[in-house]
Chain A
Amino acid sequence: MNTEIIGVVIMFLATIALAIPLGKYIGKVYSGDKTWADAIFNPIDKIFFKASGINPLKEMNWKQHLVALLTLNALWFLLSMFVLMNMAWLPLNPDANPSMSADLAFNTSVSFISNTNLQHYSGESGVSYLGQMVLMLWQFISAATGMAICAVVFIAMKDKSTESLGNFYNLFIKSCTRILLPISIIIAIVLLFNGTPMTFKGKDQFISLQGDTVNVSRGPAAALVSIKQLGTNGGGFFGANSAHPLENPNYFTNVIENVLIILIPIAMVFALGYIIKRKRFAWLIFGVMTVGFLLLLLPSIQQEMKGNPAIHRMGINQHLGSMEGKEVRFGSAASAYWGITTTCTSNGSVNAMHDSFTPLTGMFAMLGMMINSFFGGVGVGFLNFYIFIIIAVFISGLMVGRTPEFLGKKIEAKEMKIAAIIALLHPLLILSGTALSSWLYAHNPTTYAAWLNNPGNHGFSEMLYEMTSSSANNGSGFEGLGDNTPFWNIVCGTIMLLGRFLPIIGPVAIAGILAKKKYIPESAGTLKTDTGTFGIMVFAVIFIIAALSFFPALALGPIAEYFGIR
């Protein structure tokens, strides 16, 4: 049993060991410094620039960055809608899967373009191979979008007064070619040799030892699985995601896929340290994020390994922990570890069914998404954390009676208003969405009976989880929820849209406004932002906002369920 915990420790330490050098590399890429890989990538990037008619040296201000980002995303959305609604007659559809309805296509398009990967369909029967390949394209470029816009904020945090913050296309293309593509190729090949398929042939059929006729779904999975893990996308090729034996064949692949979940989110913090030349500040952010992450992780592992108390009372042996919804080859500790990493980072892939987690683990998974900045999604995770930093600077400044300054820039009313709106948007979307669905369900229990797979507090948790997952752009689910209905498709789609783009626009606007301001050199009166005290302050801000916003809802769901079965 203790070896299971050692497996988890190895996974986490390996991730940090890889993330530090990767972070430095990412920092170099975004700063335009020389790296050993330039010889390979310079020519590739040149092809991109030339074919797209882009001048990578043209500097943009923060508004131009946002326009470039939104134009690209709008275009992708239209293209995605077209493919998903016409898959049935388009090529690469050997299993003759149908096209999506308009509401499902809306949900799925928004979901993949916003890096959420909430899936209201099942991979085996809901999309063609062409559809999978298009979704895979979004997995690359939505991740690159988040990373590029995060790089813009990094550049804006430098010690100078400027309006020019690099070129969006340049940062975007380099995120794709120099970071996401090479790692994806390597991992996809590793998965191939462990048994993950990569074929364009349709279903196979065989007769089992007991004489049942079995159809086996296959497909071009290996290419998709590596980028969905790396880009905090999470949308699986098969319905069961990384619990499926073809997507995640053994414990070794599980380690690799789990490392990928938080690799770039951690690396981005160290990239920040490199770009603004403040390593101590980067370590401080890493420290706060890690402490928060561990506070969610440790009790979850303990709960899952202890097992379900209701099953314990039946008198059987739970030496492997709570096994409902889990796979024997991973075990309960590694499943809990995956569950918390995937929700803290907005990845959303799963290797165990979250709906069947014991109540408190389900709650910590939700809290990971509610906070959404303990590492967070690629790029956007830091943007969320940035908002909390701004608020912490402002409050600390008021507490000690100093002008709130952050990295030599004065924080004033306008920036604070934006920060407050963005910080409150996330709870607003989650709670009003859950309130609406609960109200509908409570008033029409027969009409909406198919929504919930579980009664009582757990049923409420299913709805709360879905809304949280949408707003956090996570994409995992309490999958018992019958969510392929116009209500869930449209409401979740809208929440994902708002939950993606407003928290990008807000921090970029703040960073852009701050960058333009006069740089005030550090003096004795400056509030130091790289000390342990400030770290505690940021953590307190995060904790208080999360607790005040979400405790009542969590008390109705997982906490009540926990006391019901303990």
Chain B
Amino acid sequence: MKQNIFPAIRLTLVCIVVFMVIYPAIIWAVAKAAPSKGEGEAVTVNGKVVGYKLEGQSFTQDKYFNGRPSAAGYNAAGSSGSNKGPSNPDYLKDVQSRIDSFLVHNPTVKKEDIPSDLVTSSGSGLDPDISLKGATVQVDRIAKERNLPKEKIVALIQSNIEKSSMNGIEKINVLKINIELDKLKQ
């Protein structure tokens, strides 16, 4: 045992220097060349920071595209999912009431057209995206709220589709489209 303790202490000290100091220092130095210096990419409107590009934020008002429900209340300093099991009766009641409330706010939408991502909460509670279908079912409501022709909003959605060629999922970044939506008005 004795002949192992001193090498162990010295080896640990070397590991601290290499993996806790030099390695992060290298990555930190490279980060200076990365977008926003590796400090998280902020999105600005008229010179004011209104959000972070990668992180979702709460949109509940009718005039905006609403994002997914968040178990963390879109708290970007405390991410978490709901961790509700698929058979949990309280959870199923929650989903049902989200469906009901969606139908109240969007009376022209048929129930079978509501995509599940709009009524289930995301893994991080900060999902920045909704599915393409999740955006199109909100068109009627937003057009009415904003007094804009539907075609304009449909066109806005079309120009905002992000599609990954690897998994084929078509999605919409909620913050980005809402910023552009606000500009439509002006």
Residues of A within 8 A of B (CB): 1-4, 6-7, 10, 47-48, 51-54, 67-68, 71-72, 75-76, 79, 122, 124-125, 133-134, 136-137, 140-141, 169, 172-173, 176-177, 181, 184-185, 188-189, 192-193, 195-201, 203-204, 206-210, 212, 214-218, 220, 222-223, 238-240, 243-246, 249-252, 255, 307-308, 310-311, 314-331, 333-335, 350-353, 355-359, 453-459, 461-462, 478-480, 561, 564-565
A193→B35 contact, CB < 8 A: yes
Give B119's nearest chain A residue, CB to CB. A316
Known: A7-B167, A53-B6, A198-B38. A317 touches B115 (CB 8 A): yes
A324→B121 contact, CB < 8 A: yes
Residues from chain B with a CB closer than 8 A to the CB of A200 are: 28
A71→B40 contact, CB < 8 A: no
CB pairs A–B below 8 angstroms (23 shown) = A4-B169, A52-B10, A68-B7, A124-B79, A125-B77, A125-B78, A136-B24, A192-B31, A198-B31, A209-B59, A209-B179, A217-B79, A223-B27, A249-B54, A315-B111, A317-B115, A317-B116, A318-B115, A331-B169, A334-B167, A453-B84, A479-B81, A479-B83
Which of A124, A185, A192, A355 lies in contact with B85, CB distance below 8 A? A355
A75→B23 contact, CB < 8 A: no
B23→A68 contact, CB < 8 A: no
B50→A208 contact, CB < 8 A: yes
B10→A480 contact, CB < 8 A: no
Q: How far is the CA of A79 from the CA of B74 in the complex (A)?
A: 36
B12→A76 contact, CB < 8 A: yes
Within 8 Å of chain A (Cβ to Cβ): is B147? no
A314→B79 contact, CB < 8 A: no
Residues of B within 8 A of A (CB): 1, 4-16, 18-20, 23-24, 26-28, 30-31, 34-35, 37-42, 45, 48-61, 64, 68, 74-89, 91-92, 95-96, 99, 111-117, 119-131, 133, 164, 166-169, 171, 175, 178-179, 182
Number of A-B contacts (CB under 8 A): 376
Q: Which of A48, A67, A328 gathers the greatest number of chain B CB atoms within 10 Å?
A: A328
Which of B39, B56, B61, B99 lies in contact with A316, CB distance below 8 A? B99
Which of B87, B92, B96, B182 lies in contact with A457, CB distance below 8 A? B87
A4→B61 contact, CB < 8 A: no
Which of A4, A185, A359 lies in contact with B86, CB distance below 8 A? A359
A140→B15 contact, CB < 8 A: yes
CB of B65 to closest CB in A, whole Å: 11
Known: A355-B83, A561-B87. A137 touches B15 (CB 8 A): yes
CB of B169 to closest CB in A, whole Å: 5
Q: How far is the CA of A184 from the CA of B22 in the complex (A)?
A: 13
Residues from chain A with a CB closer than 8 A to the CB of B178 are: 209
List 18 other contacts, CB 8 Å, given A6-B166, A195-B53, A328-B171: A124-B77, A181-B19, A181-B23, A185-B26, A195-B54, A198-B38, A199-B40, A209-B50, A210-B61, A307-B116, A308-B86, A311-B92, A311-B116, A319-B131, A323-B116, A324-B82, A335-B123, A455-B88
Residues from chain B with a CB closer than 8 A to the CB of A212 are: 57-58, 74
Q: How far is the CA of A140 from the CA of B84 in the complex (A)?
A: 33
Known: A195-B54, A316-B111, A320-B131. A51 touches B117 (CB 8 A): no
Residues from chain A with a CB closer than 8 A to the CB of B80 are: 122, 239-240, 479
Q: How far is the CA of A328 from the CA of B69 in the complex (A)?
A: 12
Q: How far is the CA of A352 from the CA of B81 in the complex (A)?
A: 8
Q: How far is the CA of A204 from the CA of B34 in the complex (A)?
A: 18
A326→B87 contact, CB < 8 A: no
Give B34's nearest chain A residue, CB to CB. A192
Q: How far is the CA of A192 from the CA of B27 in the complex (A)?
A: 8
Q: How far is the CA of A307 from the CA of B20 in the complex (A)?
A: 43
Known: A199-B38, A223-B27, A358-B86. A209 touches B175 (CB 8 A): yes
Which of B49, B55, B75, B169 lies in contact with A320, CB distance below 8 A? B169
B10→A53 contact, CB < 8 A: yes
Q: How far is the CA of A335 from the CA of B122 in the complex (A)?
A: 12
Which of B42, B45, B74 lies in contact with A204, CB distance below 8 A? B42
Residues from chain B with a CB closer than 8 A to the CB of A326 are: 120, 122-123
Q: How far is the CA of A461 from the CA of B87 in the complex (A)?
A: 12
Residues from chain B with a CB closer than 8 A to the CB of A319 are: 115-116, 131, 133
